[in-house]
């Protein structure tokens, strides 16, 4: 028990006054014998004894009365665990996509918001943050409307990120009690295997999860097969419960163009194939209906006639293999000799191949430097009789590479950089028993460019990165059998495909996405991206032959977006939410270090209020003083 005014307890010394008064009032009586009044003596003796007891009782009653009054004025109280400390509260409210799960009449997020509005004391000052918003030092009335309109976010913070972010939101004041409240469904995707980074912060977990919720998710869709007339779209679905089949629909815009049902196997996976016209532009949406999460019931995609990639080879050497690799369906291929080369055509190309040139004219070197600076890609295939001095002046400035020597000996091309972007999706596994191509002669080089293909000796055959590539040997039939090797097709084809980043049929929100649009913008023109009433300008970089768009933080909602140039739609692009949260696997909170684990907001804040409360006792001492007054009255009245 503590006192608000402990200095008043010095008044207890005043209790000595009634004690002294009582002692001074005690008298010594002399015995006076009376010869004929024996009975009167007995009565007087008994009266004296009764009077002495009454005085002692009155003394104790008055002492207790004064003590109770003095203690009452000192205002005694019993504090809670943290009542004598200043208190800071930081609340994390999970608004990730999995909080869309239904529970009762609302979703998990809606129910948690209602509990926060109802049970967090209105006078409390706290800080609240979600996966993408922060409300610092507010009262519940300040953010009521914001919480009611809080959108779902695909940016699910990991537990380590939550702790680190919360740590920055607490003050550095020592001696304060810090409470971190985590309100979430605690999916297993949240990484809990971390070191305790909050040793001085009390953590309270409020877990809200649906019971026996079944969810079906559309995981992906891709082009499975293509013919001249039709293409097959394959969609893969998963479920976390036992489901025989479920209806699935395909839309082009708002028009339903196909409907079927998908059957799930023992692994709870299902597949369905839609056949659509190959040359038709489709703004597609695959849709299902289930009682689980809503965000994974739709998947948006686009099928459009792709822009042809412009490839130009320069040289008089055989280019039939290039014409076969860069087919007309995907590429716009052309070949020009040095004599007939129109330099104004270079800036409009996506990929330029220097095919077996003996030397590179200075004018072409300057044009290629400008082409590279504007984002163009090029490949250098040297001639077997290359002018090394000329090539070195060209390669030094453009690729920071020097040809050291010409080596006249047979070498096998036996080392493949499987992790290089050119071969990332080419091989199912690293091949060891490959029929390796060979060369009769090659050039030794000194270069910082990463190796893509190498000889047995480790010397590079092909180097390059970020759209610039250099072969160290002639690949003409007289010097190499590389043209007959299976490597030739994926190597050059992927060089061409990488020169213009064609949008996939859909992209994922939250991932960094780069798309090349074959539009040459003037100085004041910009590309915009819009959907209905929402419009934003992505980061963009304009080159002579294209404009590169980069998507990172935006958009934040799934759907089909229009890329517009001066109000005119030139291309559509689809974005979907990632599907990581669709499995509904939840963590065991007993595995986490926590001050308390709760099922609702009400019980937690009742406990916090109890810990911060002060139980004042002065009223009870006032009542006790009144009781002693009443006891004194009874003593005076009934004890004679």
Q: What is the mean pLDDT of the chain?
A: 82
Tens of pLDDT, residue by residue over 129-168, are 998 899 998 998 889 999 998 888 888 888 888 888 888 8
Q: What is the pLDDT of residues 586-609, one digit of tens each?
A: 887 777 777 678 778 887 777 766
| Per-residue pLDDT, 309 | 86
pLDDT on residue 84: 45
> 60-64, 188-192, 635-639: which has the highest mean pLDDT?
60-64
Mean pLDDT to the nearest integer, 288-302:
89
439, 482 Cβ separation under 8 angstroms: yes
pLDDT-derived band of residue 312, with 50, 70 and 90 as boundaries? very high
Is 39 a residue whose pLDDT tops 70?
no
Residue 519 vs residue 194, higher pLDDT: 519
pLDDT on residue 44: 53
Q: Calculate mean pLDDT across residues 571-588.
A: 86
Q: What is the per-residue pLDDT across 54-69, written as a single tens digit (0 to 9) for each?
A: 777 777 787 787 787 8
Give phi and psi for 400, each to the nearest 5.
55, 45
Q: Which of 193-202, 422-431, 451-460, 621-630 has the highest mean pLDDT?
A: 451-460
Q: Confidence class of residue 195 from pLDDT cuts 50, 70 and 90?
A: very low
Query: Tokens 């096998």 correspond to what residue?
Result: 412
Whether the Cβ atoms of residue 293 and residue 100 lie closer than 8 Å to each other: yes
Burial of 304: CB neighbours in 10 Å, binned 0-12, 13-18, 19+: middle
CA 202 from chain centre, in angstroms, equals 24
Band of pLDDT at residue 192, cut at 50, 70 and 90? very low
Given a cut of 90, whether residue 285 has pLDDT beyond it is yes
Please give the pLDDT value at position 370: 86
Residue in the block written with tokens 């030139």: 570
pLDDT score at 574: 92
The region of weakest confidence among 83-87, 470-474, 515-519 is 83-87
Q: How far apart are CA 273 and CA 263, in angstroms?
A: 12
Distance, in Å, from the CA atom of 62 to the CA atom of 44, rounded to the nearest integer, reads 27
Mean pLDDT across 322-329: 88
Question: 94 pLDDT exceeds 50?
Answer: yes
Compute the average pLDDT of residues 525-551: 86
CA angle centred on 589, ends 583 and 594, rounded to 5°:
145
- Report for 183-197, 336-350, 510-524, 604-618: range of highest mean pLDDT: 336-350
Q: What is the mean pLDDT of residues 336-346?
A: 87
Instruction: Report whether pLDDT(79) > 60.
Output: no
Per-residue confidence at 197, pLDDT binned at 50, 70, 90?
low
Supply the DSSP symbol for 504: P
- Per the structure block, which two tokens stand in for 601? 């907001």
Q: How many whole angstroms separate alpha carbon 540 and alpha carbon 550?
A: 6
pLDDT at 100: 87
What pLDDT is recorded for position 381?
Answer: 92
Which range (366-380, 471-485, 495-509) has the least confidence?
495-509
Instruction: Identify which of 23-27, 198-202, 441-445 has the greatest average pLDDT.
Output: 441-445
Structure tokens at 497: 């495909």
Percent of the chain at pLDDT > 70 equals 86
Confidence tier at 228 by pLDDT (50, 70, 90) = low
pLDDT band of residue 51 (cuts 50, 70, 90) is low
C-alpha to C-alpha distance for 304 and 293, rounded to whole angstroms: 30
- Lowest-pLDDT range, 177-191, 250-264, 273-287, 353-367? 177-191
- For position 400, what pLDDT does the model report? 87
pLDDT tens digits for 246-274? 899 999 988 999 999 999 888 889 999 99
Residue 614 pLDDT greater than 70, yes or no: no
Q: What long-range pairs does 196-201 form, CB within 8 A, spacing at least 24?
A: 196/593, 197/160, 197/163, 197/164, 197/167, 198/163, 198/166, 198/167, 201/166, 201/167, 201/170
For range 31-45, the mean pLDDT = 55
Chain centroid to Cα 294, Å, comes to: 19
């Amino acid at each position: 028990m503590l006192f608000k005014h402990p200095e008043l307890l010095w008044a207890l010394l005043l209790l000595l006054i009634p004690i002294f008064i009582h002692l001074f009032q005690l008298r010594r009586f002399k015995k006076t014998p009376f010869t004929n009044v024996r009975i009167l003596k007995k009565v007087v003796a008994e009266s004296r004894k009764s009077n002495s007891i009454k005085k002692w009782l009155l003394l104790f009653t008055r002492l207790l009365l004064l003590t109770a009054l003095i203690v009452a004025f000192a205002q005694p109280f019993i504090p809670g665990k943290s009542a004598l400390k200043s208190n800071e509260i930081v609340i994390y409210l999970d608004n990730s996509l999995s909080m869309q799960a239904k529970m009762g009449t609302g979703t998990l997020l809606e129910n948690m918001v209602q509990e926060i509005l109802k049970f967090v004391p209105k006078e409390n000052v706290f800080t609240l943050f979600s996966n993408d918003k922060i409300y610092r030092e507010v009262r519940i009335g300040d953010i009521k409307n914001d919480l009611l309109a809080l959108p779902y976010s695909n940016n699910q913070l990991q537990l380590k990120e939550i702790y680190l972010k919360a740590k920055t939101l607490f003050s550095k004041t020592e001696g304060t009690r810090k409470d971190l409240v985590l309100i979430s469904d605690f999916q297993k995707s949240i990484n809990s295997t971390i070191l305790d980074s909050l040793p001085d912060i009390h953590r309270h977990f409020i877990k809200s999860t649906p019971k026996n919720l079944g969810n079906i998710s559309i995981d992906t869709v891709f082009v499975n097969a293509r013919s001249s007339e039709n293409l097959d779209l394959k969609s893969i679905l998963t479920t976390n419960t036992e489901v025989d089949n479920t209806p699935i629909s395909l839309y082009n815009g708002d028009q339903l163009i196909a409907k079927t049902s998908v059957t799930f196997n023992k692994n709870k996976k299902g597949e369905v194939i839609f056949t659509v016209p190959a040359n038709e532009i489709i703004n597609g949406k695959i849709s299902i209906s289930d009682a689980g999460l809503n965000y994974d019931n739709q998947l948006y995609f686009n099928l459009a006639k792709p822009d042809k990639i412009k490839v130009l080879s320069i040289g008089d050497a055989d280019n039939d293999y290039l014409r076969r690799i860069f087919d007309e369906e995907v590429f716009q291929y052309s070949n020009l000799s040095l004599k007939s080369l129109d330099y104004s055509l270079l800036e409009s190309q996506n990929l330029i191949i220097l095919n077996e040139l003996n030397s590179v004219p200075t004018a072409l070197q300057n044009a290629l430097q400008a082409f590279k600076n504007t984002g163009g890609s090029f490949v250098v295939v040297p001639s077997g009789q290359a002018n090394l001095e000329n090539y070195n002046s060209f390669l030094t400035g453009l690729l920071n590479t020097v040809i050291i020597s010409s080596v006249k000996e047979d070498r096998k091309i036996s080392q493949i950089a499987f992790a290089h972007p050119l071969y990332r999706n080419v091989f199912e596994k690293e091949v060891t028993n490959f029929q390796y191509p060979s060369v009769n002669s090659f050039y030794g080089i000194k270069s910082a460019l990463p190796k893509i293909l190498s000889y047995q000796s480790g010397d590079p055959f092909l180097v390059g990165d970020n759209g610039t590539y250099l072969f160290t040997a002639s690949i003409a039939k007289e010097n190499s059998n590389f043209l007959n090797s299976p490597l030739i097709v994926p190597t050059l084809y992927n060089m061409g495909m990488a020169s213009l980043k064609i949008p996939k049929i859909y992209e994922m929100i939250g991932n960094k996405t780069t798309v090349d649009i074959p539009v040459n913008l003037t100085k004041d023109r910009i590309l915009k991206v819009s959907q209905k009433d929402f419009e934003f300008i992505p980061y963009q970089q304009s080159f002579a032959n294209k404009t590169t768009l980069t998507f990172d933080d935006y958009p934040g909602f799934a759907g089909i977006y229009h890329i517009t140039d001066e109000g005119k739609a030139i291309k559509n692009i689809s974005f979907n939410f990632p599907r990581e949260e669709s499995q509904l696997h939840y963590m065991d909170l007993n595995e986490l270090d926590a001050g308390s684990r709760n099922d609702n907001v009400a019980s937690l804040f009742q406990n916090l209020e109890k810990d911060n409360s002060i139980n004042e006792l002065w009223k009870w001492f006032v009542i006790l003083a009144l009781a002693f007054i009443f006891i004194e009255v009874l003593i005076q009245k009934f004890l004679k």
